[in-house]
């Protein structure tokens, strides 16, 4: 299994509980509930390069110019060969991230594909984790 980093806000925290942490195939998690894009851009990750990073950002932000700049900084500081952006339920933020991801040919997974009770977190992290496991497979 490729090395994996879950990076960002509460969506990354929630996924971390399901993606085999503590096992050789598990993902490292550098995330905090309530973190915004600027904070995520400055989070200190493990000093290693990953095959894939799943970046969850935008759930706790106002989609403005500062947000767009922070997204760019997050990408620059994400230590991975391949980045998958987990788009938030907030559509304006998701559009900014999706546009940025397309510029860099990064993959995106839209959290809005999964039902939510609060418009921030998926009701069932298991379905999202299953999709991410498929994404992590070697190409």
Range of the domain at 45: 4-136
DSSP string of 84-123, one letter each residue: EEEE-SSHHHHHHHHHHHHHTT-EEEEGGGS-BSSSSSBS
Q: At what angle do helices 91-103 and 65-77 cross, to 10 degrees?
A: 50
Most confident of 2-16, 27-41, 42-56, 92-106: 92-106
- The CATH number for 22's domain is 3.40.50.1110
- For residue 130, pLDDT over 80 is answered with no
For residue 135, what pLDDT is reported?
Answer: 65
Count of structural domains, the chain: 1
- For residue 11, pLDDT over 80 is answered with yes
70-128 pLDDT, tens digit each:
999 999 989 899 999 999 999 999 999 999 999 999 999 999 998 988 888 888 878 88
What CA–CA distance (Å, rounded) separates 12 from 6? 5
- For residue 17, pLDDT over 90 is answered with no
């Amino acid at each position: 299994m490729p090395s994996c980093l879950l990076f960002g806000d509460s969506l990354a925290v929630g996924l971390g509980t399901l993606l085999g942490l503590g096992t050789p195939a598990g993902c490292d998690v550098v995330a905090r509930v309530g973190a915004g894009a600027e904070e995520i851009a400055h989070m200190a990750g493990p000093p290693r390069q990953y095959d894939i990073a799943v970046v969850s950002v935008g759930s706790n932000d106002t989609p403005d110019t500062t947000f767009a700049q922070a997204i760019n900084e997050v990408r620059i500081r994400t230590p991975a060969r391949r980045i998958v952006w987990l788009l938030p339920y907030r559509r304006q933020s998701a559009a900014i991230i999706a546009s940025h991801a397309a510029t860099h040919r990064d993959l995106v997974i839209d959290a809005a594909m999964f039902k939510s009770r609060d418009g921030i977190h998926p009701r069932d992290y298991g379905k999202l984790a299953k999709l991410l496991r498929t994404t992590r497979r070697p190409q």
